[in-house]
């Protein structure tokens, strides 16, 4: 076991040494990395690699993931602080989104509703966010009715996320035929794997393993072809696909 630990430290040190060579870092970093493989790698990672990585899209994605893991309530705290300073529509929307992401959608609903007046009274984007909060709070009927209103008032408004919310609302209301029709359209154009993963889960709940397994096989192939950055963005949905695969095999 100790040998494995030492080997891992050396591999990490080699990774950082390659980064140091590619970015023309001072040579003393090589001594630090290999004289103190564990501590040296930690110091290099914090002082050199992470700041450099933050300048790339991939690096920012990693940083945001780490921040969310280490401090999952940071955005909610900052949104609450912002609204205490200024109760603007933008700050209310930010707080509402943070509440939804923190699994507190019921508290997000009044925040969105307070913004939907004046020039924002019929804003389809804010209404779509509100529909999500309704759905996440277990109010599928209110979500569907609001989405129907958005469609009737804004026939040219296109929102893949709103479309997915509509399919999910129909599914939650057990309107299977309509939900299936919406999902079948969604999987043909929705970017990412969320629509596919949610549809497969729904099909399994409806005891339709044949369509679920066909779509699952196709979706896993798409996931394998994705670049690493896209796979990280879709990590949650890939995990659901893998879980669904196990469920199908167990049947």
DSSP letter at 63 equals H
User: The whole model's pTM is what?
Assistant: 0.74
**The pLDDT value given to residue 244:** 96
The 10s digit of each residue's pLDDT in 56-90 is 444 445 555 555 555 678 889 999 999 999 999 99
Is the distance from CB of 29 to CB of 45 less than 8 angstroms? no
Neighbours of 133 (CB within 10 A): 26
Give me the numbers of helices (H) and strands (E) for the chain, helices first please: 16, 0
What sign for the dihedral angle of Cα 234, 237, 239, 244?
negative
Q: In the predicted model, what is the mean pLDDT of residues 185-205?
A: 96
The 10s digit of each residue's pLDDT in 158-181 is 999 999 999 999 999 999 999 999
Mean pLDDT score of the chain, rounded to an integer?
87
For residues 58 and 77, give the distance between their C-alpha atoms in angstroms, rounded to a whole number. 25
Give CA angle at 44 (39, 48), nearest 5°.
160
Report residue 22's pLDDT band, with 50, 70 and 90 as the boundaries: confident
The 10s digit of each residue's pLDDT in 126-144 is 999 999 999 999 999 999 9
Report residue 51's pLDDT band, with 50, 70 and 90 as the boundaries: low
The 10s digit of each residue's pLDDT in 221-243 is 999 999 887 888 899 999 999 99
């Amino acid at each position: 076991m100790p040998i494995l630990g030492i080997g891992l430290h050396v591999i990490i040190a080699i990774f950082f040494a390659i980064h140091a060579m590619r970015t023309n870092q001072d040579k003393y970093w090589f001594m630090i990395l290999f004289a103190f493989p564990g501590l040296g790698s930690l110091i290099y990672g914090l002082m050199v690699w992470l700041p450099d990585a933050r300048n790339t899209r991939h690096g920012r994605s990693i940083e945001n993931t780490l921040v969310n893991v280490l401090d999952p309530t940071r955005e909610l705290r900052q949104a609450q602080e912002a609204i205490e300073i200024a109760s603007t529509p933008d700050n209310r929307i930010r707080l509402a989104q943070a509440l939804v992401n923190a699994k507190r959608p019921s508290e997000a609903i009044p925040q969105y509703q307070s913004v939907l007046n004046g020039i924002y009274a019929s804003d389809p984007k804010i209404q779509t966010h509100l529909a999500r909060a309704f759905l996440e709070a277990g109010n599928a009927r209110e979500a569907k009715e609001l989405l129907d209103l958005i469609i009737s008032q804004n026939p040219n408004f296109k929102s893949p996320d709103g479309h997915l919310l509509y399919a999910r609302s129909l599914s939650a209301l057990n309107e299977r035929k309509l939900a299936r029709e919406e999902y079948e359209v969604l999987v043909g154009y929705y970017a990412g794997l969320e629509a596919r993963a949610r549809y497969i889960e729904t099909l399994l709940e409806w005891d339709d393993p044949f369509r679920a397994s066909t779509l699952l096989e196709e979706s896993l192939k798409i996931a394998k072809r994705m670049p690493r950055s896209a796979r990280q963005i879709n990590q949650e949905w890939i995990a659901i696909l893998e879980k669904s695969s196990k469920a199908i095999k167990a049947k």
